[in-house]
Structure 1
Amino acid sequence: MTRTRIFATLRIALALLVLVAVVVAVGRNWTQVSQDIRRVQPGQVLLAAALVCLAPLLTLLAWRRVLAELGSPLHLAPAGGVFFVGQLGKYLPGSVWSIVAQAEMGARLHIPRRRSAVVGLISIGLAAICGLLVGIPALPPLLSRNSTGSTGWVVVLAIPLLAVVFWPRLLNWGIALGLRLLRREPLEHRLSGRAVFASSAYLVGAWVCSGLHVLVLAHAVADRPVDGSRLLVATVGGFALASALSMFAVILPAGVGLREGILVLLLSPLISLSGATAVVVLARFLTILSDVLFALGGWVWARSHHLITTRADRLADPQLVVDDDLTPPHHG
């Protein structure tokens, strides 16, 4: 067995262990958790679902903005077809499946695979940084579990450090260095400050929308008065922080287990352990449902426009095979 297969097997085994642990933990407390879930009214579920559906749309706009800046502007329909289908790759153990899928589909729109890969990596990096930025206020209560008093100082100290990462010259230098180390040709275009700012704004909006859907669910299951400011920090900041940290756990599919664990730690002092468990169960369900629905819509569009093809399709029509070195046309 090769080293690649060994690592792939270990990733899958670890992902299954985490999934089993989550299922067992929920099962042991299911009686109380199910009661908390029944507290959520249909209208609250719909509001939470609407908020969580805004996040992938805003993330698409951020990805599309970076892609256009690097030389491949796309209309929303083809961009959504490539992006949303590729996003399902995050549910596989590993760290590159989304990027691989988007690169393969993008090649049929004359987007060089090298460019697609760089855009995917930049988007993931910006998303993680923006998640940490939004999640900074949740760090003190996560570490101390009893106070948010030091939140202001953490924000003041961390923002300048995070801002350095958004410096376009530093980003462009990092991209060029990475391609040089991989022995790949440099990109034809460079990121501008305007593109970085626009993409980051979209991503911050995506994190806030995702956190607000957790806030709606937490309010619904709370069985006692809760400090609104602390709950806002625990949900909006906590979701962003937990999700951003889970993005670095590349061996876990979509950060399953890690995100839920951090959220439970933040929410349980405010709304009870069973209530926090109910919230993370519902939040994970709505997130997956949103990803699947958007991917289904993207797949229908991509399949009808030959971005997703079978071997028989390619044999029947050689024009469906796209050369990676073709110059990308303007789609805007």
Structure 2
Amino acid sequence: MNRRKAVRTLFLLVALGFGVWAVAGQWSKVSAGLTRLTWPELTGSLVAVLAALSAGMMMWRALLADLGSPLALPDAAKIFFVGQLGKYIPGSLWPVLAQMEMGRDHGIPRSRSAAAFFLTYPIYLGSGLLVAVFTLPVLAGQSVARYAWLLLLVPVLAVALHPRVVNAAIGFGLRRLRKPPLERPLSRRGVLTALGWALAGWAAYGAHLALIVHGLGATGADAVILSFGAFSLAWCLGFLVVIAPAGAGVREVAMYAALAPVLDQSSAVAAALCSRLVVSVGDLVCAGLAGLASRRVVDSEREPAAKG
């Protein structure tokens, strides 16, 4: 137990270190852009990011519950948000390894944790591409034409996310790993619930970027609509380029291209960098709040036992 605790503490310290380094490393680049934003715009943008991250946690929690492991909200928040800090560590497997390890404390089989984790990404990818399809082609035009190939993924993901296909793929993978099959297969209701939370997350992310874009000088409905599509396109490309930690660099290029119709070059770059900074701060805030909430729940459960 002591060794497990030490490993978790080391992971948390390393992840926090990379997360803080990511925030600090962007500060000099975004300081000029931040000075153009008002405090209400920055605060509103951060609140929108926290809402988006919370929607992502609820999506993961819904998938896990559908697979047979319902979690109380504080426990789900701690496992998800602390585990997500691993995305700032170079490599793509740190978040799932962290969630699998912490999930063991709540009786969640590792295979189930892994299945829920890996299902969140195709759902995010598919729903994000849909948002981009409905918001970018008419308004962004040639500035995002180079990314048109992403549309080919939409029908592929639609088929791949059918419960029968998902359950068959998970079953095949577990057999190859010589692991027991999942006790409960993924249902259509579970997929639709997760999809609903994913779309709610995209709406919040779009609002976050729209506030930044407004502060940098772009007003009107076109700027708002492009903000929704720009963030979803940027995230999808960042996810597909797995070499970059948390999509660093890739997202900014795509976001700049999508915002080009409403912002000049310097302002579009500032919007992309400010968005990255606010999302990074949101990750750290969510992980901190989730850890505190979970600790309070544990302390409140221990008090009656101690008195008894």
What's the TM-score once normalised by structure 2's chain length?
0.79
1:172 aligns with 2:164: no
Q: Which aligned pairs between 1:124-143 and structure 2 lie closer than 5 A?
A: 124-137=121-134, 140=137
CA contact (8 A) 1:268 1:275 kept: no
Question: Which piece of structure 1 moves more, 97-106 or 132-141?
Answer: 132-141
Q: Distance in 1 between matches of 2:178 and 2:38?
A: 55
1:250 aligns with 2:242: yes
CA drift at 1:63: 0.5
Which residue in the other structure is 1:3 paired with? none
- Unaligned runs of at least 5 residues, structure 1: 1-14, 307-332
Q: Distance in 2 between matches of 1:113 and 1:161?
A: 27
Which residue in the other structure is 2:85 paired with? 88
| SS of match in other structure, 1:48 | helix
CA contact (8 A) 2:132 2:229 kept: yes
Q: Distance in 2 between matches of 1:37 and 1:304?
A: 35
| SS of match in other structure, 2:106 | coil
CA drift at 1:256: 0.7
Which residue in the other structure is 1:46 paired with? 43
1:210 aligns with 2:213: no
Query: Identity of counterpart residues, as a percentage?
Result: 34
Q: Distance in 2 between matches of 1:106 and 1:68?
A: 13
CA drift at 1:301: 4.5
CA contact (8 A) 2:140 2:259 kept: no
Q: 2:68 aligns with which of 59, 71, 81?
A: 71
CA drift at 1:186: 1.2
| SS of match in other structure, 1:271 | coil
Q: Which has the larger radius of gyration?
A: 1
CA drift at 1:38: 2.5
**1:6-41 superposed Cα distances (whole Å, 9 cap, x missing partner):** xxxxxxxxx9xxx8xx96xx85xx8xx71x533311
- Unaligned runs of at least 5 residues, structure 2: 1-17, 299-308
Q: Which aligned pairs between 1:1-332 and structure 2 lie closer than 5 A?
A: 34=32, 36-137=33-134, 140=137, 144-145=142-143, 161-222=156-217, 228-229=221-222, 231-302=223-294
Q: Distance in 2 between matches of 1:158 and 1:127?
A: 12
| SS of match in other structure, 2:174 | helix
Q: Distance in 2 between matches of 1:280 and 1:98?
A: 24
CA contact (8 A) 1:67 1:116 kept: yes
The alignment covers a number of residue pairs equal to 272
**1:179-208 superposed Cα distances (whole Å, 9 cap, x missing partner):** 223332211110111110000110111012
Q: Distance in 2 between matches of 1:260 and 1:237?
A: 13
| SS of match in other structure, 2:122 | helix
CA contact (8 A) 1:137 1:233 kept: no
What's the TM-score once normalised by structure 1's chain length?
0.74
Are the structure 2 counterparts of residues 256 and 160 from structure 1 closer, same or farther at C-alpha, using a change threshold of 3 Å?
A: closer
Which residue in the other structure is 2:10 paired with? none
Q: Distance in 2 between matches of 1:78 and 1:98?
A: 16
CA drift at 1:163: 3.0
**1:242-298 superposed Cα distances (whole Å, 9 cap, x missing partner):** 102211222211101100111111213321111112212221111111110111122
| SS of match in other structure, 1:270 | coil
CA drift at 1:216: 1.2
CA contact (8 A) 2:229 2:258 kept: no
CA contact (8 A) 1:39 1:221 kept: yes
CA drift at 1:160: 5.1
Q: Distance in 2 between matches of 1:298 and 1:226?
A: 35
CA drift at 1:110: 1.1
Higher-helix-fraction structure: 2
CA contact (8 A) 1:70 1:189 kept: yes
CA drift at 1:87: 0.7
Q: Distance in 2 between matches of 1:42 and 1:251?
A: 34
CA contact (8 A) 2:128 2:233 kept: yes
CA drift at 1:211: 1.4
CA drift at 1:111: 0.9
Are the structure 2 counterparts of residues 177 and 233 from structure 1 closer, same or farther at C-alpha, using a change threshold of 3 Å?
A: farther
